[in-house]
Structure 1
Amino acid sequence: MGPLSVGPVSVGPLSVGSGVRRTDPVQRVVTALSSSVRAVRGPVPRAGDVVVLDFADLFARRPTEHDAETYPGAGKASAEPKAEPKGAAAPVDADELAETLLSGWWTSATRIGTLESHADRRRRPAHQPETQNSTSQSAALSAALGSSAYFRGSPELAGAEARALSRYLTDLKLRHEVRDRTQAAILPDTKVVVGHGIGALIAYEALCALSDAVSVAFVSLGAAMCGPEPVFARLEPAPRNEQGHWPAAIRRWSNVVAHTDPTAMIAPQLTERFGPGIEDEVIEIKSSCGDLQPYLLDRATGRALATGLAV
């Protein structure tokens, strides 16, 4: 059995925003994987066949002036961006994009009913655009999302997650370094690649860059590509005619989304964005930001893993 590349593991606040690193991610992941695959009578991977990636060190490093000169997108979009191909996403400030993400997640959370606040769920958090800047508005949205179980009651967690995703999408140096690390972990005999949250986006872009050098089953869990439209518009390679690129390295794609995940329930059916061929499934689990375990323990994930490993 070839290596099972379970990575990237979520690049959410558990490993980025709060600066907390998982103490033993490989063992936790292997245990959960083994349980879900065994439940569907699939081939159980060995611990040595599982590779778990961590990007906390890359996200913790702040952009430097040299980075900005070498990579115009390091930290924020260039003040004078180069001409973009027709249909490409317009350059945007990282803080502005983070607020857009939070707004999209808030709308999704109200729609799926995950907010626990007694406030009117149909209304956006009160604000005065003429007096509140982007930072304070983002803080208000993050605090509102903090009332949901998904963000575990934390008023800062949603904001940290949005900033991490926004930075990945606008900081070219970080994006390249994260993708390079991911590509190096996907070997010619890798059978399955699993990505969760922002990690699913990173894994997708890494597989696009690998072309047909490998052939894997891709399992995306609560993928960032299921989120607000600006995320989809900023994929690399960029979508064409509102259709996302299908990586030649992917022979099978399973997309699993928790019905309680407001960051992925905006477009849970990725077939709408990438065309037919993706096996989409919405599952009923209690998910929370940065927590991969509920996804890995679900039978839907187990079936996707078992199918990919059996090839």
Structure 2
Amino acid sequence: MSRIVCVHGIGQQHSGENEQHASWYPALADGLRRAGAAPVDEREVSCVFYGDLFRTPGRTLSVLDPPLDAEDVEDEFESDLLLALWSEAARTDPDVMPPDARTLARTPSTVQRALNALAQSRFFAGVALRGLVLDLKQVRAYLCDASVHDQVQARVAETVTERTELVVSHSLGSVVAYEALAAHPEWNVRSLITLGSPLGIRHLVFDRLRTPEGTKPGHWPGSVESWTNIADEGDVVALVKDLRPLFGERVRSLLVHNGSRAHDVTRYLNTAEAGRAMADGRGTG
């Protein structure tokens, strides 16, 4: 019966509920300590896990799968998201050559140039090309495939209980959390924290949000009383750092510095800013 529910982002297909808890909880506890706030028992924290929905199923060994490359970036959504990330990476990293009017045209060669540029950026350092393409596909699957979307949302609904006060979400998980809270105004959740969120990316993310009938993207999510959004200036995924123009002035927007791992969830969680937001969300000081 958890008071805090955590929702992970993309690239977690080889993880699990217990692994998520083992990494999130210590960082979360450190954030509370940095804020001088009361600790939380680890049994009060649960992690929604949906990464397995994106894991490639096992098969009989035959011919090895070819590595993913530019040709596997399939549709407008994937290529447009890739170009948006390239533009933001170039803005925050002087070593990344920015796209120009010619390279923004959606062509196979442009996709390859974008992948090459991101591979050289600080933000995506160490991320294999195959992993980057798979991440694009996970975002598209959640936002564009109703079956995947509904399965992910079901995992959230199974985890949130009548005692849940606070939802902490990271990356794509912030999209999942926003939609879940918007769809369930009857929940007792009063606080939402979004970390490294892509919610503000127009057309690709914001305008695709699924909200209840009679509402639209940007409406306040369900029973939430307070919402804190935290971003690192160098976090390419959190392309729009300030969510207030889209979701209203009630969103508290903060910037932190996570060093070389700008998008790392544990570096977000262990900040004093996240700790204070969690303490406020739990009604503790």
TM-score above 0.5, yes or no: yes
TM class by smaller structure: 0.7 to 0.9
CA drift at 1:159: 2.6
Q: Does 1:60 align with 2:55?
A: yes
Is 2:210 the counterpart of 1:210? Answer: no
Distance 1:230 1:146 in 2: 22
Runs in 1 of length 4+ with deviation above 6 angstroms? 238-242
Residues in 1 aligned to 2:110 and 2:103: alpha-carbon distance in whole angstroms: 9
- Asked whether the equivalents of residues 115 and 145 of structure 1 are also in contact (C-alpha less than 8 Å), the reply is no
Displacement of 1:28 in angstroms is 2.0
Give the structure 2 partner of residue 43 of structure 1: 38
Counterpart Cα distance in 1 of 2:205 and 2:190 = 24
Residues 239 and 303 of structure 1: is their aligned pair in 2 closer, same or farther, counting only changes over 3 Å? farther
Q: In structure 1, how many angstroms separate the alpha carbons of the residues matched to 2:95 and 2:122?
A: 8
Q: What is the CA–CA distance in structure 1 between the aligned matches of 2:17 and 2:155, rounded to whole Å?
A: 18
State the identity %.
24
| Matches of 1:251 and 1:152, distance apart in 2 | 38
TM-score by length of 1: 0.77
Structure 2 CA distance for partners of 1:285 and 1:145, relative to 1, 3 Å? same
**Alignment partner for residue 29 of structure 1, among 24, 41, 44?**
24
Q: Is the CA contact (8 Å cut-off) linking 2:2 and 2:46 kept in structure 1?
A: no
Residues 252 and 287 of structure 1: is their aligned pair in 2 closer, same or farther, counting only changes over 3 Å? farther
Residue 101 of structure 1 is matched in structure 2 by: 81
Per the alignment, do residues 182 and 253 of structure 1 end up closer, same or farther by CA in structure 2, a change over 3 Å counting? same
Structure 2 counterpart of 1:149, which letter?
Answer: R
Alignment length, in residue pairs? 268
The answer on 1:301 being equivalent to 2:280 is: no
Compared CA separation, residues 187 and 20, structure 1 to 2 (3 A): closer
The amino acid of 1:39's aligned partner reads R
Equivalent position of 1:9 in the other structure: 8
CA distance in 1, matches of 2:215, 2:23: 41
Q: Quote how far apart the aligned CAs of 1:291 are.
A: 2.7
- Contact 2:183–2:222 (CA under 8 A) maintained in structure 1: no
Q: Which amino acid is the alignment partner of residue 241 of structure 2? A: P
Contact 2:181 2:221 in 1 (8 A): yes
**Aligned Cα root-mean-square deviation (Å):** 2.9
**Partner-residue secondary structure (3-state), 2:242:** coil
213-222 or 225-234, which moves further after superposition? 225-234
Name the SS for the 1:225 alignment partner. Answer: coil
CA contact (8 A) 1:42 1:310 kept: no
* Aligned mates of 2:280, 2:213 — CA distance in 1: 28
| TM-fit CA distance, 1:258 | 0.9
Segments of structure 1 that go 5 or more residues without pairing to the other structure are 63-92
What is residue 163 of structure 1 aligned with on the other side?
137
Give, in angstroms, the shift of residue 208 of structure 1.
0.9
Q: Which residue of 2 aligns with 1:285?
A: 258
Q: Answer whether contact 1:191 1:215 (CA < 8 A) is retained.
A: yes
In the alignment, the residues of structure 1 paired with residue 254 and residue 233 of structure 2 have an alpha-carbon distance, to the nearest angstrom, of: 10
2:2–2:45 contact (8 Å) kept in structure 1: no
For the residue of structure 2 that corresponds to 1:27, the secondary structure is: helix
Q: Which amino acid aligns with 1:183?
A: A
Q: Deviations over 1:83-104 (max 9, x none)?
A: xxxxxxxxxx972201111111
Distance 1:183 1:3, change over 3 A: same
What is the aligned partner in structure 1 of residue 222 from structure 2?
248
Distance apart, 1:123 and its partner CA: 3.7
Q: Distance between the aligned counterparts of 1:245 and 1:128, measured in 2?
A: 33
Deviations 1:159-193 (A, max 9, x none): 33222111111110000010111122111111110
Instruction: Pick the aligned partner of 2:117 from 141, 144, 147.
Output: 144
SS in 2 for 1:194: strand
Q: Aligned pair 1:116/2:95, yes or no?
A: yes
Contact 1:125–1:140 (CA under 8 A) maintained in structure 2: no
Give me the whole-angstrom Cα distance separating, in 1, the residues matched to 2:202 and 2:101.
16
Instruction: Check conservation: 1:258, 1:285, Cα contact below 8 A.
Output: yes
SS at match of 2:75: helix
1:43–1:310: 8 Å Cα contact kept in structure 2?
Answer: no
Task: Please name the residue that 2:65 is paired with.
Answer: none
Structure 2 vs 1, CA of residues 115 and 147 (structure 1 numbering), >3 Å: closer, same or farther? farther
Whether 2:245 is the aligned partner of 1:272: answer yes
Task: Report the AA paired with residue 204 of structure 2.
Answer: P
Whichever residue aligns with residue 230 of structure 1, its letter is L
- Superposed CA deviations along residues 59-108 of structure 1, whole A, max 9, x for unmatched, are 2268xxxxxxxxxxxxxxxxxxxxxxxxxxxxxx9722011111111111
Contiguous gaps of at least 5 residues in structure 2:
58-72
* Gap change, CA 1:47 and 1:260, over 3 Å in 2: same
What letter corresponds to residue 38 of structure 2 in structure 1? P
Is the CA contact 1:151–1:289 (under 8 Å) kept in the aligned structure 2? no
Determine the C-alpha separation between the residues in 1 that align with 2:15 and 2:186. 36
